[in-house]
Structure 1
């Protein structure tokens, strides 16, 4: 749909015409965002190759019915003296085209299939097909929302649609193309009208504001264009509303209040707080947005959009960054580096479900708060791959902990049951000290059967067992182990670790094990974090798989194939060296 040369504002006594009607396109040149459609239809009309049946499909408000009327005027154009032929240019000087625009030409019949769905309505239409037009060159039947016709009505139309008289043209418009029978579609030339992109819409709204002598802030027009979601009519309705609220100035603040939107940078800050597990800060931020008029459901929808944006920034950084303003590109890029794709896809699922819950809840704000709390704690949960490895560790480690295998270092002093996908025994970056023998401890509950953690990983598992998910997440991601022995742990906390991490961990370990534990801070660099060690170990295993002769042969046989990680426990190094084709197949596969 689009830019039209609508009439100038009428006098004070004339009824007000909404912008969607006032600036309705009158020629192909007025259409915006539909270049392919305009080019094809123009060539078909100019060369006399226009089909006898056309179907126009697209979302609401993109110009389907408007395009049908433009086609009707173009093929019936006769000029001021009635001697001209079809044209793709202006048609204002043609009396027949003026009659079509004013909906008073009997040769152009516009029918709403939503209100006339029966077979009798189609029979009445077919009866008139055989008669020649009274004034125009062609009889044009425009059927809007054609998918609403009944099955019997479609069947009654088929024969006429396949072999209509030469003076008849059918033009169908629908938003549900899949509901139109294939027997009808096969008899029509189909045109798909695209959603109009946000930039084009904003420029179109700016031109209309200029014609209406109304000032508008560019950001306000961008917000309206984004809310229109590709529909020109929806956008013009919102612009009409914004003009009514702001009189002679369309302001960003007014549009945000009207749409229930929140500031984009504040939404990014809220998202960042949730991903860091800072629940109080996130809830306070949501409350402040709500107090200034933001709709909780819209806030969640914005967070869903941010999740998609961050995923694109991670996977298609250059293309995604070019589509964002500077502040979002910088802030979003920093967040995308910290989040993994599995975490982002999990956030997407949580927010999709959360939006539905908030829309149905009697108190949307309360529902939105619960969604944020759920997201914050889910951010500390392991990915499905981590869960598989943990289950494998638990199955391989009797008693939940053991001595590192082969005297080699493990991921932060992991138990002897750690799978090979997480073990770095030599030559890697994630080298760790083996835990020394536990010192003798006083007679406590520890000697009465309560197992004591033998590694930092065992401490993480213990924290998860007792529901301390945030603590477990910080121990995995934000600390570097310097020293570990029974009853004493030395850590080098990272910048994102809480200040009271060591004190809290020492108290909780004492409570859980019945033995006194001292957790202290050290300036020594320490080992890489558990997450870093897991990534390094998995990369090493991946390289081992790629070096296997059979895998190399497969990659040579299928150029462009890649090795993909599939859920399932990874094989030990010993198994990998002798049975990669059979064993690794459950974990890695080629995809081309």
Structure 2
């Protein structure tokens, strides 16, 4: 006995077994049950979603010996004949090969005669958009007022090419593409009935490759069964499809999070050695970044708890802004593969682009601390020398070359201009005494002695004291921008800090207000405020609490200040270029136009 492919063997024979088209089944079932039968139906949708299958089930429902019913018996002679494609009153015509006016005229001439065996004559015209204009015109009158015993079923993958005069004479049903979940569930049911062992991730690969077509999924399932010698394994299916598995993609994300570009290139080379599709790899990578963005912004959209938990681990490693940028890099890298010297080079450069554009991580405690109290100018500035636990190493001149000084030099305070032009006083932690305990000049010998390495515990203690002191001073001054600089947060905590403003600090509690436009940060990530409180307590060296309320911003957030400063720098750069005589000469001589949006301040 010859083998019957799965797409034909498991073709649905009733509305109850049809998958993924509930809206169409509901409408047709109600029409059949109430007897409100139209004379022409138009089914639209991509390939393999059930257009022909629904037309056959509808033909059985109209001609079943038990009567017109939404549940044909499937056992009578009419039902079995339609399933076997030998029912004389059910005619399927391919409009791609019978598209002329003569073909349509011959069909309409036969339509006037009464059915031979059934209750209705059902004409199913597939790919009806391929008919010529004259053929459409020839069928209009009959399509509008057909004989009582004639029903038309039209099917197409391109309804835009069908004349509106035909559309207006039909009931139109748009068949949806199959969801990956529905395909996986149906394939799992078929494999269970067939007694074939499989790994669920393998079915997920087949569902994604099918792109919403159940027929394509069943054809790929036939191929996968043959490829795996009667067993479906994820690795074998991935190799057959040339796709990149999720484990491979998660390895790429681990290397990206660690900044290990060598590992990323090694993984790309491994993909090339396995002849995997780089186009499919970037497609899967973009899809992965999209799912990570969902976990960050709308975790409820991921129904699978196991997948959501796995994605959450990687969502915590990347900022929401970088995930959006990474998604764009992936899809643009995919579109640029055809312009690359070869696909492997294009894929590798896309990975390196992801690493190059990833924002720098916040400095650790053992690195230089950001400056505080400078009005949040957005530039990292080290603490004063006297507040540093270790003096910077400098090249000391010979002892004889160091002039003796009898009195210490006075250090002038540093005044910075504020937004209104008035000088701003230096914050209290910058007004520090001289480094020497007895207020005398330091000789070269003492400087060399001071450069000796200190104990690690002493260094850590000094650094912690400096951070705690700077934080306490910033809290006392009510300067949220300075507090954020001392905290040096990263990830989503930094995102939260950027969009908050200062409310108050009392009784060891820091009160902040989060902008309404970013309230999703604490709604989606409930533990984010606790993480900020832990960071503040760690930097201060004592237990502090943080409370964040959501409301309208009355002052200025760090993000708003940085945006205003960028705009001010841009305005200054534009003004400088407009005053530049060389630029003015070019504009005058070549009738050029000055595009302000193209200016990038240094």
Using structure 1 for the length normalisation, give the TM-score.
0.63
Q: Contact 2:500/2:515 (CA < 8 Å) preserved in 1? A: no
**1:489 aligns to what?**
none
Q: Report 1:475-494 matches (<5 A).
A: none
**Cα 1:158–1:277 shift into 2, 3 Å:** farther
State how far apart, in whole Å, the 1-side matches of 2:489 and 2:203 are: 48
Answer yes or no: is the 8 Å Cα contact 1:276–1:376 preserved in 2: no
Matched, 1:410 2:390: no
Query: 1: distance between equivalents of 2:296 and 2:495?
Result: 20
Work out whether residues 77 and 86 of structure 1, in 8 Å CA contact, stay in contact via their aligned partners in 2. Answer: yes
| 2:44 aligns with one of 51, 57, 61 | 57
Q: 1:196 aligns with which of 158, 170, 178?
A: 178
Evaluate the alpha carbon distance shift between residue 271 and residue 180 of structure 1 in structure 2; reply closer, same or farther with a 3 A threshold.
Answer: farther
Q: Is the 8 A contact 2:322 2:359 kept in 1?
A: no
In the alignment, which residue of structure 2 is the partner of 1:145? 127
Q: Which residue of 1 aligns with 2:260?
A: 278
Query: Is 1:97 paired with 2:84?
Result: no
| 1:259 aligned to which of 241, 256, 269 | 241
- Aligned position for 2:297: 315
- TM-aligned CA distance change 1:545 to 1:235, over 3 Å: closer
Aligned to 1:76: 63
* Partners of 1:409 and 1:434 within 8 A in 2: no
Hey, what's the Cα distance between the residues in 1 that align with 2:5 and 2:340?
Answer: 35
Q: Secondary structure at the match of 1:540?
A: strand
Give the SS at the match of 1:261: coil
- 1:23 deviates by 1.6
| Contact 1:413–1:435 (CA under 8 A) maintained in structure 2 | no
1:168 alignment partner, one of 150, 153, 162: 150
SS in 1 for 2:205: helix
Query: Within 2, Cα distance between the matches of 1:141 and 1:194?
Result: 23
Select the structure of larger CA radius of gyration. 2
Q: 1:369 deviation in Å?
A: 0.9
The match for 2:450 is: none
CA shift, 1:45, in A, is 1.1
Structure 1 residues not aligned, in runs of 5+: 1-10, 79-83, 383-403, 416-431, 443-454, 456-481, 486-520, 547-560, 576-592
1:456-499 deviation digits (Å, cap 9, x = unpaired):
xxxxxxxxxxxxxxxxxxxxxxxxxx99x9xxxxxxxxxxxxxx
Q: Which of residues 345, 358, 380 is equivalent to 2:337? A: 358
Instruction: Kindly report which structure 2 residues correspond to 1:323-334, keeping only aligned pairs within 5 A, or say none.
Output: 323=304, 326=306, 328-334=307-313
2:501 is equivalent to residue 540 of structure 1: yes
Whether 2:516 is the aligned partner of 1:529: answer no
Q: CA deviation at 1:303?
A: 0.4
Alpha-carbon distance in structure 1 between the residues aligned to 2:560 and 2:99? 52
**SS state at 2:336 partner:** helix
d(CA) in 1 for partners of 2:337 and 2:228?
Answer: 30
Which of 262, 266, 269 is the aligned partner of 2:251? 269
Deviations along 1:130-151, whole A, 9 cap, x unmatched?
3322222112111112223334
2:122 and 2:150 in contact (8 A); partners too: yes
Which ranges of structure 2 fall in alignment gaps of 5 or more residues? Answer: 362-370, 387-391, 396-413, 415-428, 433-455, 468-485, 503-511, 517-550, 569-602
State how far apart, in whole Å, the 2-side matches of 1:295 and 1:124 are.
49
Partner of 2:318: 339
CA 156–347 in structure 1, closer or farther in 2 if over 3 Å, else same:
farther
Deviation at 1:238, TM superposition (A): 1.1
1:284 deviates by: 1.0
2:33 paired residue number: 46
- Tell me the matched-pair count: 430
Tell me the CA shift for residue 32 of structure 1: 1.9
Secondary structure in 1 matching 2:123: strand
User: 1:379 aligns to what?
Assistant: 358
Question: Contact conserved, 2:378 with 2:562, CA < 8 A, in 1?
Answer: no
User: 1:190 aligns to what SS in structure 2?
Assistant: strand
C-alpha distance in structure 1 between counterparts of 2:278 and 2:81, whole Å = 49
Matches of 1:209 and 1:243, distance apart in 2: 10
- Summarize deviations over 1:133-187 as a string: whole Å, max 9, x none: 2222112111112223334433433332222222111111122233333332232
Instruction: Give the 3 Å change call, closer, same or farther, for CA 212–410 of structure 1 in structure 2.
Output: closer
- Any conservation in 1 of the 2:92–2:125 contact (CA below 8 Å)? yes
Report if aligned partners of 1:311, 1:336 keep a CA contact under 8 Å in 2.
yes
**Distance in 2 between residues matched to 1:201 and 1:179, nearest whole Å:** 29
Residues 1:367 and 2:346 aligned together: yes
* Other structure's SS at 2:152 match: strand
Q: Evaluate the alpha carbon distance shift between residue 535 and residue 433 of structure 1 in structure 2; reply closer, same or farther with a 3 A threshold.
A: farther
* Distance apart, 1:305 and its partner CA: 0.8
Shift of the 535–117 alpha-carbon distance from structure 1 to 2, 3 Å rule, reads same
Partner-residue secondary structure (3-state), 2:115: coil
Kept in 2: contact 1:411–1:533 (CA 8 A) = no
Q: Cα 1:539–1:138, aligned 2, differ >3 Å: closer, same or farther?
A: same
